[in-house]
Structure 1
Amino acid sequence: MACRITELVLDSRDPERLAEFWCEVLGYVVLDRYEGSIEIGPEEGFGGLQPTLILSPTDNPKTGQLPLHIDVNPTDRDQDAELERLLSIGARPADVGQTGEESWHVLADPEGNEFCLLRRRLNG
């Protein structure tokens, strides 16, 4: 038997704001709040095929280019429309040395955590 990823933990100055942002990005809901941390995930809750995200409070989160980052794919629209939506909810372009020829967009969430919007569209 092997392991699978069930949770991703992201340190945050403002877990409420990041929970709101990532719920909007991923179509997640708030599952739990505990000692300042907020766990968000799919409506069916913890243990499903998709990992949950735990936004953990800290006064000094690491930001920018982290050793691990999140990639997202549009599920119900093309990449350009999804890029426009993500920018409208608080994402901003991030420069990590792209050439401009990439098929993905590098963005940052409201606290500066980088993530990529990939091109292919997945079925919801």
Structure 2
Amino acid sequence: MTGMACRISELVLDAADPDRLAAFWCDVLDYVELERTDDGSIEIGPAAGFGSPLPTLVLNPNSAPRNGQLRLHIDVNATDRDQDAELERLLALGAVHADVGQTGSEDWHVLADPEGNEFCLLRTRLAPV
């Protein structure tokens, strides 16, 4: 067999405040709200919706405290500006610098979203999808 068997369609994050996290990630990724469910979950994604080349994010309400560093994190790349300008934009949106043991010589920035979920801003500028 050759070819692709799967691709990532959704990433699911637990959130103490799904509305706040949805607003943050919509601003970061230029996503829109796609769906709200009765249990309080919010799905956000590209305007094209679920199944487009970009994965959606599902933010599930969960008030349990997080223990330790996430085992999976999101990496983002700027599409319309350099890394320094994108870093300024992300910080203005509510991201904060996070220390996960980096040395300071990395060419990426480790940040955390408003609920403390770590993510990295990489250096390479990518073309928009």
Range class of TM-score, shorter chain:
over 0.9
TM-score normalised over the length of structure 2: 0.93
The match for 2:32 among 29, 45, 54 is 29
Distance between the aligned counterparts of 1:50 and 1:39, measured in 2?
Answer: 13
Distance between the aligned counterparts of 1:85 and 1:7, measured in 2?
Answer: 25
TM-score normalised over the length of structure 1: 0.96
Shift of 1:62: 2.5
Tell me what 1:59 maps to: 63
Larger Rg: 2
Q: 1:66 to 1:49 in 2, by over 3 A?
A: same
Distance between the aligned counterparts of 1:63 and 1:75, measured in 2?
Answer: 33
Alignment of 1:1-124 (within 5 A): 2-34=5-37, 35-62=39-66, 65-124=69-128
- Deviation string 1:74-106 (CA, Å, 9 cap, x unpaired) is 000000000000000100000011111000000
Distance between the aligned counterparts of 1:116 and 1:61, measured in 2?
Answer: 22
- Deviation string 1:5-64 (CA, Å, 9 cap, x unpaired) is 100000000000000000000000000000200000000000011100000001115265
Equivalent pairs, count: 124
Gapped runs of 5+ residues in structure 2?
none
